[in-house]
Structure 1
Amino acid sequence: MANNEPTAPVSADDVSTLGQRWYVLFIMMLAYAINIADRYVMSTVLEPIRLELQLTDAGVAFLTGVSLAFFYVIMGIPLSWIADRYNRRNLLAASITIWSAMTALCGMSQGYMQLLLARIGVGVGEAGGTPSCNSIVADYFPAGRRAMAMTIFALGAPIGAWLGADMAGYVAAEYGWRMAFYVLGIPGILLAIVIMLTIKEPKRGRLDMVDDSAAPNLTETLKYIWSQKGMVHAIMGSGLSALWGWGLMWFTPTFIQRAYGLDVGEAGAVIGPIHLIMGIGASLLTAWLVGRPSYTDPRKVLRLLSVVTALATIPSIYAYYTNSLATATLMWWIFIPAIYFYIGPAMSLLQNLAPPKMRAMVIAVSLLVANVFNLIVAPQGVGLLSDYFAGPAGADAESLRMALLVLAPTGFWAAWHYWRAEKYAYDDQKRACGYV
């Protein structure tokens, strides 16, 4: 960046202390962790639920993934519209309360319809969470520090995935799958109270030069997104990363149980530590990398995402090709970190490519794309393919393996979009924030 280019108009130290910024970031990270845990506990107990309700792979995918994602997508836009105009802190607290209560209700479900309605409730509540968190964090950290801040925020993903895999798997193995939902649902309600009591709503866009007179509507937001070629490719890259990585993860506990004869607790113990150790490690490494002065340039962040995603796609394919649990586990130790590596940088890129009063809506659009891919296309597609490959005999380990091998190469597609975004991102960020 040249010395005569504009910088942030207000210092973060002028509007908050270092302790306040990091406290808010920590609480937002916890909210994200609970969000991920409450969403992905279902993938851990997928097989016990499928067997109890006597469902096909496609049927259980629709019940547990598509039902949540459909209403998550529908509610994401109106709730983000609210977040761009009204109190984000209040919206976040209400959203956490709703999705946590509905998670607990999943454990109380006694049949297909009750579980379906509870999952819909989880989706509705979660729709207001991440956009509000992102927008709040962006008003505590300037553009040059958002990649680092959002990567710390993204630590919630591996922590939440570990809770939803290892801890939930242990609880389900010991006390039944319903108890896992109780254990993960209750803490969220307590966190909502903490947010209401300890966090204040920050002034919107206080660290940016660009300040629109009014928050844009959905049509204006979509037109703006389409005009930002770098943003379009960044949204597609992050969406396809979710399709690839989190889509594979959705059926992985079930695959481990079928292919290697493990129970739900043992399968969770294979994947859970990888999420916790390597997910946190990857997130911290990313935070360190993008926190360096040279990574204030969005083009370098995108180049990093492209290379890491492309390289990690190779072990993601071999993990489901091999018949050795030891080899597959090694491949997961290499591949799974990449599904966390992209989250923080991708979110910060979108925050910096969007004007302040459009950020929650842009994140909602990004999440819409990502969740259509990873909660609708991936689970339903893998489920349908597994049933198709199995034939009349019914889905088994080999049919699921073949379906997952169809999905795994999509990581290369995500890497291509990050590479293309690099060409446009610098000019797009100056247009949105007024500085790079």
Structure 2
Amino acid sequence: MARSLIEPRDQPSASRSSAGYILTLLFLGNLLNFYDRALPSVVLEPIKDEFGLDDTQVGVLASAFVLVAALAGVPLGRLADRIPRAAVAGWGLFVWSAFTAASGVLTTFWGFFASRVGVGVGEASYAPATGSLLADLYPSERRSRANSLFMLGFPVGTLLAFLTAGGLAVAFDSWRAPFLIAAVPGFVVAVLVLRIREPQRGTADPAGPRSPASAGDFRASLRSLTRVRSMYGMLLAFAGYNFAAYAIGTFLTPVLQRYYDLSLVDAGLVGGIVIGLTGLVGLLAGGRVLDRAARYSPDARVRVAAYSLVGAAVLSLAGLAAGQGRLWQLVVFLSLGYLLGIVYLAAAVPVVADVIRPEQRSGALGLLFAVGYLLGGAGGPILVGLLSDGLAAGSSSGTEASARGLRTAMMITVPLAFGLAAVGMLLAARFVRSDREAMLTSVATSSPPPAAPAP
């Protein structure tokens, strides 16, 4: 990352780490976050064979850590509003790395299931804490670009998982090897994140620094969040996007193996192109476009994200409708759909930061991720798995029915989920301007508490 791309408007003081250094560390942690998340999807067929699972059980397994992440996200987000966010993020990274290693050691299905639940607990801490931290490094008109650089961990981590996990599993003759190897860099980055000297809350906002939220104002914060009307659209959008993203992330490799008859390694390479490379381009381009739109008005950024999600719905349908002899159609159109869909991620956290007070942002992000993961991230793999098994049940040809059932389930659900996300962003666009003005007025007119010293 070029330093010119990641330095904030004001130079950091000697009392805290530089913005570029913090962003780089948080990016590395996020890369490991999504690498660890993607591992079971890449080696899903060997896991399914060893434990004797059907697609519904695979969906439940894929959703295990998502459900826990959703439930743990709200209290961990609130915790990050009260204590140093680097501590919450760093210890979370340490915990999920430990459970990733456990995934490669435990030999029973329920042991593996429990390890994925543990991964969810650790990862639940990361997004709310880091989202709030990034908002204090960059002003509103530069947050989409900074957030897109941070979120590059999603496509890069996923791409690395798809490119390496299958090869590692083949080289070590065990699907467990990638889990053990992935844990090592996680411990190293966790130690470095824990040593971050973070900025004061609200530093990059017009009203200036704020003190952390107190432990006793949770209900007041929750009531204030319910009055932010754009948040309702954001919740709908995040749920729809996560439904589509987790359905693709969980079942793309099995579709490529079953329906298109690719090997594990080849399916991983194709999956890396569809999810990793296109995600990389989408975030880099999306961050620039969204910040440019934000210079005109707060709602312009939201509308651009909404239109991108509409394109994602149309193009993903064209890709998933490809027949068995048209793999190129799947790769081209699903890649383009995924590229447009991931542009939304560069908008999500900056939009929340635009309408939520600085001392409440981690809690608000925790709520956003909780709802998105519960309804979307967990619901996507489970519903696709149930629909796949249901469609396959009526056919006498088990293998062919399983392939067609899974592909049809994806073709039905993924475009609909992207479309639902687009509706949510259009709803949010109606209120984001007035919500931002109300937030700025509230912060400016309230008696600002003394800013806490930088940790």
SS of structure 2 residue aligned to 1:262? coil
Q: Structure 1 residue 422 and structure 2 residue 429: aligned?
A: yes
SS of structure 2 residue aligned to 1:108? coil
C-alpha displacement at 1:262, in angstroms?
Answer: 1.5
Question: Once structures 1 and 2 are overlaid, which stretch shifts more, 217-226 or 174-183?
Answer: 217-226
SS of structure 1 residue aligned to 2:138? coil
Q: Structure 1 residue 242 and structure 2 residue 248: aligned?
A: no
What is the Cα-based RMSD across aligned positions, in Å? 2.4
Change (3 A) 1:122 1:222: same
**What amino acid sits opposite 2:343 in the alignment?**
F
- Which residue matches 1:147? 144
- Give TM-score, length-normalised by structure 2: 0.88
CA contact (8 A) 1:138 1:351 kept: yes
Question: Once structures 1 and 2 are overlaid, which stretch shifts more, 287-296 or 47-56?
Answer: 287-296
- Which residue matches 2:371? 369
Q: Structure 1 residue 405 and structure 2 residue 402: aligned?
A: no
CA contact (8 A) 2:23 2:134 kept: yes
Cα distance in 2 between the residues matched to 1:384 and 1:291 = 40
Question: Once structures 1 and 2 are overlaid, which stretch shifts more, 143-152 or 396-405?
Answer: 143-152
Q: Deviations over 1:383-421 (max 9, x none)?
A: 111111111665611111121122122211111111121
**What amino acid sits opposite 2:44 in the alignment?**
L
- Which residue matches 2:453? none
Change (3 A) 1:315 1:86: same
Cα distance in 2 between the residues matched to 1:127 and 1:18 = 25
Cα distance in 2 between the residues matched to 1:85 and 1:429 = 23
Cα distance in 2 between the residues matched to 1:293 and 1:237 = 19
- Which residue matches 1:59? 57
- Which residue matches 1:379? 381
**What amino acid sits opposite 1:370 in the alignment?**
G
Aligned residues: 425
Cα distance in 2 between the residues matched to 1:343 and 1:321 = 25
CA contact (8 A) 2:229 2:431 kept: yes
Alignment of 1:199-348 (within 5 A): 199-208=196-205, 209=207, 211=210, 214-215=213-214, 217-292=217-292, 295=295, 297-323=297-323, 324-348=326-350
Q: Deviations over 1:183-209 (max 9, x none)?
A: 222211110122234x20321222332
C-alpha displacement at 1:11, in angstroms?
Answer: 6.4
- Which residue matches 2:180? 182
**What amino acid sits opposite 2:407 in the alignment?**
R
Match of 2:122 among 115, 120, 125: 125
Cα distance in 1 between the residues matched to 2:303 and 2:137 = 26
Match of 1:94 among 82, 91, 94: 91
Structure 2 residue runs without a partner (length 5+)? 1-7, 445-455
Cα distance in 2 between the residues matched to 1:245 and 1:75 = 21
Change (3 A) 1:419 1:334: same
**What amino acid sits opposite 2:183 in the alignment?**
G
SS of structure 1 residue aligned to 2:104? helix
CA contact (8 A) 2:240 2:417 kept: yes
Match of 1:196 among 181, 194, 197: 194
Cα distance in 2 between the residues matched to 1:396 and 1:43 = 17
CA contact (8 A) 1:172 1:264 kept: no
**What amino acid sits opposite 1:318 in the alignment?**
A
Q: Deviations over 1:221-261 (max 9, x none)?
A: 33223211112112211221111233223211111110011
C-alpha displacement at 1:361, in angstroms?
Answer: 0.8
Cα distance in 2 between the residues matched to 1:220 and 1:364 = 16
* Regions of 4+ moved over 6 Å: 16-19
**What amino acid sits opposite 2:273 in the alignment?**
P
- Which residue matches 1:4? none
SS of structure 1 residue aligned to 2:18? helix
Match of 1:103 among 100, 103, 106: 100
Cα distance in 2 between the residues matched to 1:18 and 1:290 = 28
- Which residue matches 2:154? 157
**What amino acid sits opposite 2:331 in the alignment?**
T
Q: Structure 1 residue 173 and structure 2 residue 180: aligned?
A: no
Change (3 A) 1:296 1:149: farther
**What amino acid sits opposite 2:238 in the alignment?**
S
Match of 2:32 among 27, 31, 34: 34
CA contact (8 A) 1:158 1:340 kept: no
- Which residue matches 1:3? none
C-alpha displacement at 1:21, in angstroms?
Answer: 1.2
Change (3 A) 1:17 1:29: farther
**What amino acid sits opposite 1:113 in the alignment?**
W
CA contact (8 A) 1:242 1:339 kept: no
Q: Structure 1 residue 79 and structure 2 residue 76: aligned?
A: yes
C-alpha displacement at 1:374, in angstroms?
Answer: 3.4
Q: Deviations over 1:94-122 (max 9, x none)?
A: 11011011111111121111101111110
Q: Deviations over 1:330-361 (max 9, x none)?
A: 11221121232111211110122111111111
Question: Once structures 1 and 2 are overlaid, which stretch shifts more, 110-119 or 168-177?
Answer: 168-177
Cα distance in 1 between the residues matched to 2:53 and 2:156 = 30
Structure 1 residue runs without a partner (length 5+)? 1-9
Change (3 A) 1:256 1:432: same
SS of structure 2 residue aligned to 1:291? helix
Cα distance in 1 between the residues matched to 2:370 and 2:25 = 24
**What amino acid sits opposite 1:22 in the alignment?**
G
- Which residue matches 2:447? none
Change (3 A) 1:109 1:339: farther
Cα distance in 1 between the residues matched to 2:348 and 2:293 = 18
